[in-house]
């Protein structure tokens, strides 16, 4: 999954917001759905605004079940 880092205030953890388009059942219009995932960032390399790719992993804590696999685009 790809998303944008919205918070990097924790140590070795970033919050990634993933946005997807879902078709409404009745109106057949595409609606944006967003979800936040806590992801493990071992090197503390990600900053807010970076576009990253995350991959599912074993549970690392109560909320962390994702790892940052790579940084696609750095924020300006």
Q: What is the pLDDT of residues 28-65, one digit of tens each?
A: 999 999 999 999 999 999 999 999 999 999 999 999 99
Cα 37 to Cα 5: distance, rounded to the nearest angstrom: 9
pTM of the model: 0.90
Helix, strand or coil, per DSSP, at residue 54: strand
**Structural domains in the chain, sorted by start:** 2-73 (2.40.50.140)
- List the beta strands (DSSP E) in the chain: 2-10, 13-23, 30-40, 51-56, 64-73
């Amino acid at each position: 999954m790809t998303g944008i880092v919205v918070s990097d205030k924790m140590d070795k953890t970033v919050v990634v917001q993933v946005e997807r388009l879902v078709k409404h059942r009745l109106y057949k219009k595409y609606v944006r759905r967003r979800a936040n995932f806590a992801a493990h960032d071992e090197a503390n390399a990600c900053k807010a605004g970076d576009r990253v790719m995350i991959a599912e992993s074993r549970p690392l804590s109560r909320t962390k079940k994702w790892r940052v696999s790579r940084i696609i685009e750095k924020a300006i």
